[in-house]
Amino acid sequence: MKGLFVGLTTLDLSYYIQSLPVEDSKSYSNKQVIIPGGMAMNASIAFSSLGADSSLITIIGKRFRSFIDDYLESIEQNIDIQDIVLSESQSLPIASIIINISNGSRTIFNPPLSNFSISSPEIDLAEYEIVMVDGFYPELAIPIARNAKEHNIPVVMDSGSWKPQMDLLLKFVDYLIVPRSFRPPHSTSFEDAKSYLSSYGFKGLAFTDGANHVLACQNNTDYFIDPIKITCKDSLAAGDIMHGAFCYHYLHDHNFLKSLEAAMLTASESCKYDGPHEWIKNL
């Protein structure tokens, strides 16, 4: 099985603390971890770790490429990465993250959205069985998703928030899995967002809500899927991991609801450990 992941890679600076700091104060973290992150990167790692072949089209840049490669080698993940950044002065975004040790929650500080000079690689989609996009780099994601749609290759999408040109990208998506907080323009409530997104006619639509149930929508019917109960140590990248696992299980089952439930189990497993990729060591 081979999947293509298109979108964001970040450098995550994670700080593990007992509680969120108050404003205008100084704090020492219990632990600091610096690792690759980002929706497409984490999803491709999950897909690969479950036993499939991952290809990733993303922006990394010369400055951090060796760090990314060394890290992937350290967790024994062989991912085919195509770096599309053109300017040597540009590199991947750097995110700062606070992990609350008491409950495993994560608070993420992202840099401003940037305009990158990127290449437009020739992609032979014939070798891929599934494509995942995350809404970043739409000038690349849209033609890839359109091409995949034309060749009956399923397109999965992850996104935490509405981004430029997303209304066009969504036209080529088969399976959309987003958080309950996701809001398209002019949507003021979850019901508005659900109604608007349903109008695209996806083969499957799902809304995650942290440790609460997932609402899955298919064929005009709503389904509620409860996650397993765990002691959460670190929820960072759980949603990304869920998307990568969904892609993997969908290629096995070709069943939206069954694949979603299996992916939820993988995401829950990832939350049992400190760090978003530690669960891989226990497969």
Q: Taking residues 91-96, report their average pLDDT.
A: 90
For residue range 216-271, list pLDDT tens digits in order.
Answer: 999 999 999 999 999 999 999 999 999 999 999 999 999 999 999 999 999 999 99
State percent of the chain over pLDDT 90.
80
Q: Residue 110: pLDDT band by 50, 70, 90 thresholds?
A: confident
Over residues 105-115, the mean pLDDT reads: 83
pLDDT for 114: 72
Task: Say which residue, 25 or 45, is predicted with more confidence.
Answer: 45
Reduce the DSSP state of residue 193 to 3 states and report it.
helix
pLDDT of residue 79: 97
pLDDT band (50, 70, 90) for residue 279 = very high
Strand, coil or helix: what is 223? strand
Strands in 10-17's sheet, in edge-to-edge order, are 31-37, 10-17, 94-100, 106-109
Q: At what angle do helices 238-253 and 256-270 cross, to 10 degrees?
A: 140
pLDDT at 181 over 80: yes
Least confident of 3-7, 85-89, 184-188, 238-242: 85-89
Predicted pLDDT at 216: 98
Identify the burial level of 71 via C-beta atoms within 10 angstroms of its C-beta, where 0-12 means exposed, 13-18 middle and 19 or more buried.
middle
Q: Which amino acid type is present at position 242?
A: M
- Domain boundaries along the sequence of the chain: 2-282
Q: Read off the pTM.
A: 0.94
| The pair of three-digit structure tokens given for residue 117, joined into one six-digit string | 């000079």
Distance CA 208, CA 180 (A): 6
What homologous superfamily does CATH list for 2-282? Ribokinase (3.40.1190.20)
Average pLDDT, the chain: 94
